[in-house]
Amino acid sequence: MILLVDKPAGMTSFGVVARLRRVVTEKRKIEAIRKGETPPKREKVGHTGTLDPFATGLLIVMTGKDTKKCQEYLKKDKTYEATICLGKTSTTGDVEGEITEISDVKPSKAEVEKAVQSFQGKITQKLPAYSAVKVDGERAYKLARRGVEVEMPEREVEVYAIEVLDYNYPELKIRAHVSSGTYIRTLGEDIGKKLGVGGYLTALRRTKTGIYGIENAEELDVLMEKLAK
């Protein structure tokens, strides 16, 4: 089964999976008992690409035999809408980090458009320290939380399309269609650096993964209620 979830802010992707696993497992147990079969102890449930806790939007969750397709969907391109706060930086690249004021210079709309468009195409990103990437066998974010400084690896990704949706300093809203593995937090930071004023994400929403769009997703509570029935 493939479930399209509109992930709420403030919840981890693992948290979404855990809540759905409980409901789906209970549903499978009831079905098995009705058929006179041995009920499963725990239904297989997995997602196809992590969203940060502060982020919202499309999280594809797969259950049972369909979990084998999770890796396939991890490689699909994705579309995001992001809000960048210019003039400041964050230790995590988003609202959850320590914020530092960098500049009060207000870039013009033309400067912003030019900077944003310069990221279209193949680009190299340095992976964020607060990420799940493993460095010497340990998750980078765990090292970062302990204050351990490491040289993060770089990765080539592709921005297929990027556009400015709105700009009212210090808020810059963009939409980006990107390849798998692209960090939008890093993209926001790099746009701020390009403008010479710094920047970090205050909002992030995934609107598409592969052929699936947010318009077909359901809020977590609504989906859980439907599954329970």
Sorted by where each begins, the domain ranges of the chain are 2-75+212-228, 78-209
Is residue 210 pLDDT above 80, yes or no? yes
Three-state DSSP class for residue 50: coil
190 as an active site residue: the answer is no
The helices-and-strands tally (H runs, E runs) of the chain is 6, 14
The CATH T-level fold of domain 2-75+212-228 is Alpha-Beta Plaits (3.30.70)
Three-state DSSP class for residue 152: coil
- According to CATH, what is the number of the domain 78-209? 3.30.2350.10
Q: Which of 6, 52, 94, 190 is catalytic?
A: 52
Mean pLDDT of 191-215: 97
- Using one digit for the tens of pLDDT, what is the confidence trace for 148-194? 677 777 899 999 999 999 999 999 999 999 999 999 999 999 999 99
Contact 189, 100 (CB under 8 A): no
**32/173 Cα distance (integer angstroms):** 48
Q: How many CA atoms lie within 13 A of 127 on its CB side?
A: 18
- Using one digit for the tens of pLDDT, what is the confidence trace for 57-105? 999 999 888 788 788 888 899 999 999 999 999 999 999 899 999 999 9
Q: What is the pTM of this model?
A: 0.89
